[in-house]
Amino acid sequence: MTVDVGPISDFEERRFRIVQAAGHEIGVLRWQDRFFAVHNRCPHQKGPLCLGVVSGRLHGRAPGSMEVDDETPVIACPWHGWEFDLERGRALWEEGYAVKVVPVRIQGGRVLLELGGGAVASP
Ligand code: FES
């Protein structure tokens, strides 16, 4: 099922917008003109994941150094701080945990979510 959640212009850069789609709460993020969408439900204890802090992924190549990979957005859950890669949904510390990722497509200036079956939803 494809759900139209609005025009691209409705999505601020680097800020999650939470929409209702097919009976789910989905967080949609615009990041450097790419779009990511995940369920707003942390796999740890079901916290509101998309209300957390978004940043680029941090890397340390050597002791005492740290760099931000701005190509890879990461969300930190507001409840206990678990971090998830928004491209794959995997937790950074343990890939066995993952938030559900929703494929996003842009067509005719609109943001479209590709969801499984369920009821039609609204943004
Ligand atoms: S509920 Fe998200 S880290 Fe615990």
Taking the C-alpha atoms of residue 91 and residue 44, their distance in angstroms, rounded to an integer, is 10
Number of Cα atoms under 13 Å in the Cβ half of residue 21: 26
* pTM exceeding the 0.85 threshold for the entire prediction: yes
Determine the average pLDDT of the residues in 27-54. Answer: 96
- The residue ranges of every structural domain in the chain are 2-114
Taking the C-alpha atoms of residue 115 and residue 40, their distance in angstroms, rounded to an integer, is 14
Report pLDDT digits (tens) over 89-111: 999 988 899 999 999 999 999 99
- Residue 74 tokens, joined: 């990461």
Taking the C-alpha atoms of residue 54 and residue 15, their distance in angstroms, rounded to an integer, is 8
**What pLDDT score does 94 carry?**
87
Residue 13 per-residue DSSP state:
B
User: In a mutational test of the pocket of ligand 1, which residue from 38, 40, 50, 80 has the highest number of ligand atoms less than 8 Å from its CB?
Assistant: 80
Question: Cβ contacts of residue 123 below 8 Å, gap of 6+?
Answer: 4, 5, 6, 10, 19, 20, 21
User: In a mutational test of the pocket of ligand 1, which residue from 42, 74, 99 has the highest number of ligand atoms less than 8 Å from its CB?
Assistant: 42
Between residues 23 and 47, the one the model is more confident about: 47
Q: Are 40 and 25 in contact (CB under 8 A)?
A: yes
Tell which CATH architecture fits domain 2-114. Answer: 3-layer Sandwich (2.102)
